[in-house]
Structure 1
Amino acid sequence: MVEARSGGAPTVLRVVLGKRLQDLREKAGLSFEQAAAALDVTHATVRRMEKAEVGLKIPYVEKLLATYGIADATEIEGFVSLAREANRPGWWHRFREVLPDWFSAYVSLESEANLIRGYQPAYVPGLLQTEEYARAVLRAGMPHACNDDIDRSVALRLERQSLLTRENAPTLWVVMDETVLRRPIGDDPRVMRDQIGRLVEATALPNVRLQIIPFAAGPHPAMYGPFHIFRFPIPELPDIAYAESLVGAQYFDQRNDVSQFLEALDRMCAQAAPAHATEDILGGFRKEI
């Protein structure tokens, strides 16, 4: 399981480099204890570096590479350069006052994925929300937050959306429950009408696929809550599943765990209305508001 601990959520690159260090250690036939002895630290430090739970100290990285038998100066320089880049905060660091560590990891994964799949039972995914809809949802979820924090959270959410129209944009494939469209959000019906209009626009994007599960489809495998699955164009990085709660989130990267999320999502896609019908379905809901 990938963890986001206090003290800085891992960037995707840090996760990748941690896995590379693990591979190098195992190929060298060294235990955690043996690697730690070279650094004069506890074995827990090496474990945490490999799991991306701590930053990559450059002297530690250089010493480990030498211990693992890496002698090529160009290879060492390249790895160290990537380690320095991995330690730099992501663009979302500007919003750190309103962004908990457990969600910083999510934004990092989202930014690097080439495929984002998910299920949303209660609200429109953040990447597709209008500003007014986002403000209403965030206010409901953070009832004690001051207006400045809500404003910053909305700004973060809107900035995240730019990834859908960037060069080499990821594919976003989301299944939404009919509840999402029937629950009124905001004080004015216009908020929901505009939000549904935004979803209609999104269906025209070549990299966005939306499906809606109607009430008539009955029960499905993920009625317990929302989740997302990230896939990356990086060989070392496995698919990662994300499940959120009121107080935090869990990130799963073990094949058996992620397979269960994938199977549930595939079953829901089969139960949902086909993507080519989504625009007409949205238009029907918009007329009802």
Structure 2
Amino acid sequence: MSEALPSGQSAPTVLRIVLGKRLKELRESRDIPLEDAARALSVSHLTIRRIENAQVSLKIPYVRELLRLYAVSDEEARDFTDMAERANEPGWWHNYKTALPDWFRAYVSLETAAEVIRVYEPHYMTGLLQTRDYARTVIRAGFPYEPEEDLERRVELRIRRQALLEKPDAPKLWVVLEEAALRREVGGPAVMRAQIERVMEVAADPRITLRILPLSAGAHSGTSGHMTYFRFHEQELQDIVYTEVGLTSAVYFDQRPDVVAHLEAYTRISRLAAELLPDTRTYLDHLRKEFNR
């Protein structure tokens, strides 16, 4: 198991992760030890490791000196430095940092850059598909003592994330929902009816696949809890899996055995849902009518 990304104020953009990995590949391809790279910058070898793991921002003088040490061409060095400057720019979510838990900041960066997102959600409607009223109720349950202004800031962040699905290059989104997540009445019948109608609307998008795992499935591979699987355009960035740990932390897996284990579990869950409940739209339509009271 590995925590692929740092949490907290330094949560990186995906570009910074990619550039850190490129710097590591350049160093290793030149057979330069961490200690020699650190000596060139007059820093500790731990600083080089943090740069390569995207745990600190890319200081441009450091980047230039490392590229010189790695004998990178002038043209390639200029391109790399330009990208490093862009990588240090805060993402759009930076304006919402007070509404983002430390351990969730990297998630928004990954979500924004992903080519494919696979979500398994056992408890609630997944955040990318929530209506405003549904989101407000769920967030209030998680933060019962939050001042109203701060609560609305969290709601606004969740709704802002959904703009991702409207982009021309929107990621492919695969969602497996537990039936319990749809039957748990959040905010009352009217809120639930509107939420189900919202899901039926977006599920018509060919880039979105929604499957529902009925209660009759019994024990299965996903009973350990929520997971999100990210795949990216950038070849340097391997697939990453996010899982929540309790109420106040999360783990980001990037080691291949961990990622493969989660993907295989997700695939089994998805196939089981398709077998047990192949007609998702009809089920949602019946459920919507149940909340018509």
TM-score by length of 1: 0.97
Contact 1:4–1:101 (CA under 8 A) maintained in structure 2: no
CA distance in 2, matches of 1:280, 1:224: 28
Give the alignment of 1:63-212 within 5 angstroms. 63-70=65-72, 72-186=73-187, 188-212=188-212
CA displacement at 1:95 relative to structure 2: 0.4
**Partner Cα separation in structure 1 for residue 9 and residue 216 of structure 2:** 46
Answer yes or no: is the 8 Å Cα contact 1:118–1:228 preserved in 2.
yes
Residue 32 of structure 1: how far off its partner (Å)? 0.8
Q: Give the structure 2 partner of residue 284 of structure 1.
A: 286
Write the distance in 2 (CA, Å) between the matches of 1:133 and 1:279: 20
> Distance in 2 between the 1:273 and 1:257 partners?
25
Q: Which string of whole-angstrom CA distances, capped at 9 and with x for unpartnered residues, describes residues 221-270 of structure 1? A: 11011010000011101000000131111101110000010010010011
In the alignment, structure 1 residue 237 sits paired with structure 2 residue 253:
no
Distance across 2 between alignment mates of 1:89 and 1:230: 21
Determine if the alignment matches structure 1 residue 43 to structure 2 residue 48: no
Give the distance between the partners of 1:250 and 1:86, measured in 2 at CA.
23
- Separation in 1 of the partners of 2:95 and 2:9? 15
Give per-residue Cα distances to partners, 1:52-110, cap 9 Å, x unaligned.
0000000000000001111x221111100100111110000010111123211000000
Task: Please say if residues 232 and 239 of structure 1, whose CA atoms lie closer than 8 Å, have aligned partners that are also in contact.
Answer: yes
1:6 deviation in Å?
2.8
**Deviation for aligned residue 1:7:** 3.0
Letter in 2 for 1:281: Y
Bigger shift: 267-276 or 228-237? Answer: 267-276
- The alpha-carbon deviation at position 218 of structure 1 amounts to 1.5
Q: Distance in 2 between matches of 1:212 and 1:111?
A: 25
Shift of residue 284 of structure 1? Answer: 1.2
Q: Is the 8 A contact 1:8 1:101 kept in 2?
A: no
Separation (CA, whole Å) in 1 of partners of 2:281 and 2:51: 46
Question: Is residue 219 of structure 1 aligned with residue 230 of structure 2?
Answer: no
Mapped partners of 1:228, 1:249: distance in 2: 11
Partner of 1:54: 56
Structure 2 distance, partners of 1:91, 1:190, is: 32
Residue equivalent to 2:5: 3
Aligned equivalents of 2:17, 2:102: Cα separation in 1: 15
CA shift for structure 1 position 153 = 0.7
Q: 1 CA distance for matches of 2:99 and 2:113?
A: 21
Instruction: Please say if 1:269 is aligned against 2:275.
Output: no
| 1:5 Cα deviation from its structure 2 partner | 3.1
| 3-state SS of 1:96 partner | helix
Secondary structure of the corresponding residue to residue 265 of structure 1: helix
The alpha carbon displacement at 1:118 in A equals 1.2
Most deviating of 168-177 and 100-109: 100-109
**Residues in 2 aligned to 1:272 and 1:160: alpha-carbon distance in whole angstroms:** 26
Which blocks of at least 5 consecutive residues in structure 1 are unaligned? none
> Which amino acid is the alignment partner of residue 117 of structure 1?
R
Matched residues in 2 for 1:3 and 1:170: separation?
21
8 Å CA contact retained: 1:12, 1:109: yes
CA drift of 1:276 comes to 5.8
Q: What is the root-mean-square deviation of aligned Cα atoms in Å?
A: 1.1
Matched residue count? 287
| TM-score where L is the length of structure 2 | 0.96
Secondary structure class of the residue paired with 1:206: coil
* Range that drifts further, 127-136 or 144-153: 144-153
Q: Is the 8 A contact 2:177 2:212 kept in 1?
A: yes
What are structure 2's unaligned runs of at least 5 residues? none
